Chains A and B, each alone.
Chain A
Amino acid sequence: MQSLQDFREETRSWLEQNCPESMRTAMVQEEVVWGGRNAQFTNPDSKIWLERLALKGWTCPTWPAEYGGGGLDKDQAIILNEELVRINARPGLTSFGISMLGPVLLEYGNHEQKLEHIPKIVRGEIRWCQGYSEPGSGSDLASLATKAELQGDTYLINGSKVWTSYADKADWIFCLVRTDFEVPKHAGISFILFDMASEGISTKPIQLISGSSPFCETFFDDVKVPASNLVGRLNEGWTIAKRLLQHERTMISGFGLSSGQSDNGGTTSTISSLEGTAMSYRGDSEKLSDPVLRDQIAQFKIDSDAFAYTSRRSIEESKQGQGPNATSSMLKNYGCELNKRRYELMLQAIGSQGLGWEGKGFNDEELQLTREWLRSKANSIEGGTSEVQLNVIAKRVLGLPDILSMAQK
């Protein structure tokens, strides 16, 4: 049995030899690697770094080696992470396959499904998108109506999804579909995977208030999907759907920790120190001259500290490997509200320079800040609104009676 100290030393020397120099710098938005059939590597080192990590399964360190994962136990994974942080290594791969689909596929998928999809997620060969929300089903996700009808050994899928992140760039979709219209809404949902290159799929980007278009409308018109692509049992997809949402919420809650990836809503703003920025834009040297803003920033930073300790505590508490639970709703809600507060304070910190839209008169960071501020407003909507998270906490954590479920029955 290899000791943890040996593992640390080996890991450290492997990283020294294999992590390219340019991958040891802060991530910039244009160089985030999403993988997929049409993967883009703005920086060629990103490709080398991804391939080296993937070969060891270290894009997904704790996933089973049988499916291409790193096969590390929790303690080893912590060490790997510490060593990555130590050299300021960038993540080799950012993907919804890693943060959302993979964990539930490992939990609910059959052997063939895992064998087909997990290694490709590890290597970043397939980029996944999430088919959850529909025009009529936002917070009330379980009312979804995209229909899958079994015809022989094929499902025929019709309907539409909305807020599908990067549907226009994704190769495959994990999708919630209705397979039974006769039963209560939660009991007729299935979880299915299919290729976005299939006939009958079209996507249309949605322009956001921030000017960017990370989300799409996605339409399914008689899309044929092999029945074997259904994950778990027929009509039991809601359980998987909820589990996946916990993983998604855990991911989004990381936005509150100020080290997230920007493209899905977190922070990469190069203007990182709120108080330093506020002082430099005012020409203050020793003390922030606006006492109200100073107090608000202190309050924000205190909440951020306490939140970061809470995230760490929740990791320590889930050491038994149960993965995220209902507290993910608390972390998601708090983390998102914190991230929104950060951007509001950042705007106050730099005054009118934070209100530029484009063109001259503003530097790139300032223009990016304006856009990120607007983008951050979605944090408390995506992955379940803050109000939905509060419902989950009230019901699942606090055990308060549920008036809604009575109304639905």
Chain B
Amino acid sequence: MALVLSEDQQLLKDSAKSFCEQIAPVSLLRKLRDSKDEQGYDQAVWAQMIELGWGGMAVPESYGGFEFGYGGLGVVLEESGRTLLSSPLISTVLIGATAIFELGNETQKQQLLPQIVAGELLTALALDEHTTHRPSRVATTATKVEGGYSLSGSKTFVLDGHIANKLITVARTSGETDSEQGLSVFLVDAAAEGVSIKRTIMVDSRNSSNVQFSDVRVPSEALLGDFDGAFESLSKVLDIARIGVAAEMLGSMQAVFESILVYLKQREQFGVLIGSFQGLQHRAAEMYSEIELCKSAVRAALSALDDPEKSSREIAVIASMAKAKLSEVFFLVSNEGIQMHGGIGMTDEFDVGFYIKRARVAQQFLGDAAFHRDRYASLNGF
């Protein structure tokens, strides 16, 4: 297990870092928010990201990708987290490409993955139906009809739903609402009749939506993965996504912490730098330690994803470990980010507010710390 970056990963990280700093700083997100941008992401910046190959980071070469593995995608996500880059990177590259690769048949992979790599296809995962994440809690139904299926139900917290061309939709084909059995995944055209997508303006200024399916007809070929038995592969996709989001959170919390350190070394009160106060020093030192643990957790998790020997169960354990830990520490660091900057931390003009807003959304997304501790315990047999 590689816990330090390879030379290739380090180069990739450096180039992603300078791209994000120069092309997509936090001011870009601020601009999108203030201008109430319809798309919620900057298409020109996204085009440059595609140009850099970020669309095919973890996609194998045989499907047009660049095969940097999840370790490669992870460092890009980490750097994008530093500047809170709002783009389809998570919805389409991290989740969409992974779902198609893990669930799809050869035809679907050949057809769709190159489109993602080329930036021609945007996807969104339509899974959650309630205010808290629980992947088996699916009431949206898909019933067999002539030539395909009919989907009905409603989804919430659908990341990038309003810009997606295709909705990767989890629906129930049999069983009770809470059962892990009887789930299937469908690729639904966003433009299909009966699909209604309403963008929700979220606190982190990224793009979410509520999606309604009313007797939406999809052809048989729209089925992605096993009919009635998608839960296991879906869980793997979710685990990869959770680890990717943890990598993004790692970048964001480091940015907050660096900002705290700068402030502690420049702000004077009582005639001295506030960074000389032990009350603040110890809190900073504790945050540093927690962030170091987060770094190791993310590196270990990413390297597990690229290790073909790891079982799905092992990946599940490490994904829940990472998502729980990162969610918890990002909570701490984002709160301290406000408190340690004092009044200035409360102003909209200062960037730290964007991070606490992003923190809460990222914490909730695909399961918060409590969800993952519970899952970790179950996976470990207690």
Task: Please list the residues of chain A having a beta carbon within 8 angstroms of any beta carbon in chain B.
Answer: 275-276, 278-279, 287-288, 294-295, 297-299, 301-303, 305-307, 309-310, 312-313, 316-317, 327, 330, 333-334, 387, 389-391, 393-395, 397-403
Contact = CB atoms under 8 A, between A and B. Distances in A.
Nearest to A296: B373
A330 B278 contact: no
Secondary structure of the A contact surface, majority rule: helix
Interface stretch (B23-31, B100-108, B292-300): B292-300
B277 interface: yes
A226 to B, nearest CB: 42
B3 interface: yes
Query: Which of B277, B285, B292 is most buried by chain A, counting CB atoms within 10 A of its CB?
Result: B285
B382 A278 contact: yes
Contacts of A295: 370, 373-374, 377
A403 B277 contact: yes
B299 A302 contact: no
Contacts of A400: 261, 264-265, 275-276, 281, 284
A409 to B, nearest CB: 14
Contact of A401 (B3, B265, B374): B265
A288 B377 contact: yes
A390 B282 contact: yes
26 contacts: A275-B380, A276-B382, A279-B382, A288-B377, A298-B324, A298-B373, A298-B374, A299-B324, A303-B325, A305-B297, A305-B321, A306-B296, A309-B293, A309-B300, A312-B1, A312-B3, A312-B296, A313-B3, A387-B282, A389-B285, A390-B282, A391-B281, A398-B285, A401-B273, A402-B276, A403-B276
Given A295-B374, A391-B281, A400-B276, A275 B288 contact: no
B291 to A, nearest CB: 10
B382 A401 contact: no
Contacts of A317: 4
Contacts of B376: 298, 301-302
Given A307-B293, A309-B296, A330-B292, A302 B276 contact: no
Given A295-B374, A312-B3, A402-B276, A306 B285 contact: no
A298 B324 CA distance: 10
Contacts of A301: 376, 380
Contacts of B22: none
Contact of B275 (A288, A316, A334, A401): A401
Interface of B: 1, 3-4, 261, 264-265, 272-273, 275-278, 281-282, 284-286, 288-289, 292-297, 299-300, 318, 320-321, 324-325, 370, 373-374, 376-378, 380-382
A391 B318 CA distance: 32
A393 B293 CA distance: 15
B325 A394 contact: no
A303 B329 CA distance: 11
Nearest to A279: B382
Contacts of A278: 382
Contacts of A397: 285, 288
Nearest to A284: B382
A305 B370 CA distance: 17
Nearest to B261: A398
Nearest to B301: A309
A298 B376 CA distance: 7
A389 B296 CA distance: 20
Given A394-B282, A398-B288, A306 B294 contact: yes
Contacts of A401: 265, 272-273, 275-276
A306 B4 CA distance: 14
Contacts of A275: 377, 380-382
Nearest to B260: A398
A326 to B, nearest CB: 11
Contact of B293 (A298, A303, A399): A303
A397 to B, nearest CB: 6
A321 to B, nearest CB: 15
Given A313-B3, A390-B281, A397-B288, A306 B272 contact: no
